[in-house]
Amino acid sequence: MTDLNCAEVLVQSLVEAGVKRMFGYPGDPTIELMEQARRRGIDVVLARREGTAAFMAEGEAALTGSIGVVFSTLGPGSTALVNGVAAANLDRIPMLAISGQIESGSEQFFTHQVVDHKLLFSSITKWAGRIEPKSVGTVMRKALRLAVAERPGAVHLTCPNDVLSTTAVDAEISPVPMDQDRSATIVVNRSSSGVAPAALLAGSRRPVVLAGISATRGEATSSMIAFAETVGAPIVVAPMAKGVFPESHPLFAGVSDVACNTVVKEFLDGADLIIAVGFDPVELVKPWRYRAPVLHIDSTPNLDQVYAAPCEVLGDISAILDWLASSWRGQPRWLESEVAAHRSSLRAAYYAGRAEGRLNPSDVVDLVQSSLPASTVATTDVGSHKFLVAQGWLAERPRSVLMSNGLSAMGFGLPAAIAAAMTVPDRQVVALIGDGGFAMTATELRLAAGMGLPLICVVFSDGSLNRIELKQMALGYPSTATRLEEMDLLALAEGLSCDGVRVETPGELEKALESLGTLTRPVVIEARIDPGQYLAQF
């Protein structure tokens, strides 16, 4: 027995796991939790609602690779958390979500504000557990270990009101590994028809790598560059993995399943071997359509079976790529000039539908990127604009472009950018978001303004839930429930203690970006785009 209460054990476990900050929204049952966090130096950040708090925790974790923590009260607090928790789970971001609950003695029969958290969160987390005095230390180890273990995701913990201030019986706090296992042990699994990975690779004339978020988590960038150059294999990356392979590299061959997807699909169709390097099928928008055999390289087996792979190579992704590159005896399979031709058709497709004299979405992406430092962190939301940002923003380093592309949840972009600006104050952060997603989350700017965060929030303002409106148009349907009423974003920005500027032409945007100077609070750039370019794109 010790004299630590359960909240102290919970919070001390977070401290041992390196947690510096938690986002959330309070209620009676979280008071003890927030106080213990404050006492141990964890920054307790008040978002304007639980869902955005969860996106902040997700954004922070996506940027750093460590666990994000979010908390809510019982009932309406926990139900409001759902979207952000599900996003972290499907976006494969480690998250610990904690909700208060009514006194443990009343939980089974009392009804006011009571929902069954185990049932609610089980389908959107890796595990939904509860804090109890007899197991709190162990449950915290399990929650943290499970959230960060491959594939990472969300874990939810219920904390009954009386339990947090009750003395813990299981009060042992033993730190758990919070990183991926980087041991170089490589396991090869083959089906009855599968050949060895090196032989599969050697037999291929047109291999193409499809890299995904597990490669980002495996910090595989330098091994991937060496592998690509040795084998002469071009690399397509999945959207959330942007930057895992530098996009200025001559062997970079585009981003999958976003704008220009027919060009990328044709390129992958031309492969005689697809080397899936940490590719997570959660980013696949349509069923797997490629006929080439797949060599599966990942930290986890091909358990989804979205594609068939007769050969799986499992372990640390960098070590696997190094091993395959070192056993390579052939000539490089692709000439850089062949990849260059593909890269220029990709670029041409990205500019398709661009109209001179208008403010096109691709102008916004290009002008914003060229005005900001190379170290900038960009976030994006969900909608037509994301498809262009994901293909057009040139990412040079991992974790520099953050988005939700597993759950693909609108409302991620702005809160994630706010959390990023808190986490890396030495880097510029820009949110590139739609007016629909902005309307969902704009009030979070008051928090960012209060902290003096020099955040740039670029709103692709088209008065439309364009991604959906386009689909209505394609079916010949009128725009029903997809038009947004006119909103004065400058007045809104001012009311939230932010700066604001409205631009309607590329020239105005350029000037606005040039005159930003040193920011002491967020600025909203209302970019009145002509959405016509989207029509040519999708």
Ligand X SMILES: Cc1ncc(C[n+]2csc(CCOP(=O)(O)OP(=O)(O)O)c2C)c(N)n1
Interacting residue ranges for ligand X, rule: CB under 6 A:
381-385, 408-411, 434-437, 460, 462, 464-468
User: 316 is in the binding site of which of Mg ion, ligand X, none (Cβ under 5 to 8 A by kind)?
Assistant: none
User: 468 is in the binding site of which of Mg ion, ligand X, none (Cβ under 5 to 8 A by kind)?
Assistant: ligand X
230: its two tokens:
């040795």
- The Cα-based distances of 286 to 12, 200, 258, 290, 370 in angstroms read 44, 26, 11, 11, 32
Partner residues linked to 433 by β-bridges? 459
**Smallest distance from the beta carbon of 38 to ligand X, in angstroms?**
32
User: 343 is in the binding site of which of ligand X, Mg ion, none (Cβ under 5 to 8 A by kind)?
Assistant: none
* 434 belongs to the binding site for Mg ion (CB under 5 A): yes
Buried b (16+ CB within 10 A) or exposed e, 313-322: bbbbbbbbbb
Cβ proximity to ligand X, 346 vs 409, nearer residue: 409
Cβ proximity to Mg ion, 265 vs 502, nearer residue: 502
User: 382 is in the binding site of which of ligand X, Mg ion, none (Cβ under 5 to 8 A by kind)?
Assistant: ligand X
- Cα–Cα distance between 471 and 465 in angstroms, integer? 10
Cβ proximity to Mg ion, 104 vs 482, nearer residue: 482
Stretch that binds Mg ion, among 73-81, 344-352, 429-437, 505-513 (CB under 5 A): 429-437
202: its two tokens:
């050697």
- Cα–Cα distance between 216 and 196 in angstroms, integer? 25
Cβ proximity to ligand X, 86 vs 144, nearer residue: 86
Cβ proximity to Mg ion, 132 vs 526, nearer residue: 526
Cβ proximity to ligand X, 173 vs 388, nearer residue: 388
DSSP state at residue 152: P
3-class secondary-structure state, position 17: coil
For 18-78, the DSSP string reads T--EEEE---GGGHHHHHHHHHTT-EEEE-SSHHHHHHHHHHHHHHHSS-EEEEE-STHHH
- Cα–Cα distance between 489 and 173 in angstroms, integer? 48
Nearest to 440 by CA among 413, 408, 406, 401: 413
Cβ proximity to Mg ion, 223 vs 464, nearer residue: 464
**Smallest distance from the beta carbon of 162 to ligand X, in angstroms?**
35
Cβ proximity to ligand X, 241 vs 465, nearer residue: 465
**Smallest distance from the beta carbon of 388 to Mg ion, in angstroms?**
12
**Smallest distance from the beta carbon of 412 to ligand X, in angstroms?**
9
User: 381 is in the binding site of which of Mg ion, ligand X, none (Cβ under 5 to 8 A by kind)?
Assistant: ligand X
Which residues 453-492 are close enough to bind Mg ion by CB under 5 A?
A: 462, 464, 466
**Smallest distance from the beta carbon of 125 to ligand X, in angstroms?**
18
Q: Which residue has the tokens 């994301």?
A: 386
Is residue 164 within 8 Å of 35, Cβ to Cβ? no
Cβ proximity to ligand X, 321 vs 445, nearer residue: 445
319: its two tokens:
């070590």
**Smallest distance from the beta carbon of 431 to ligand X, in angstroms?**
12
121: its two tokens:
């969160």
**Quick one: three-class SS letters along 81-148?**
HHHHHHHHHHCCCCEEEEEEECCCCCCCCCCCCCCCHHHHHHCCCCEEEECCCCCHHHHHHHHHHHHH
Instruction: Tell me the site size for Mg ion, rule CB under 5 A.
Output: 6
**Smallest distance from the beta carbon of 361 to ligand X, in angstroms?**
8
Shortest-Cβ-distance residue relative to Mg ion: 434
**Smallest distance from the beta carbon of 358 to ligand X, in angstroms?**
16
**Site for Mg ion (CB under 5 A): which residue of 435, 444, 469, 526?**
435
**Smallest distance from the beta carbon of 535 to Mg ion, in angstroms?**
14
In single-letter form, the type of residue at position 273 comes to L
Which residues here bind Mg ion, judged by CB under 5 A? 434-436, 462, 464, 466
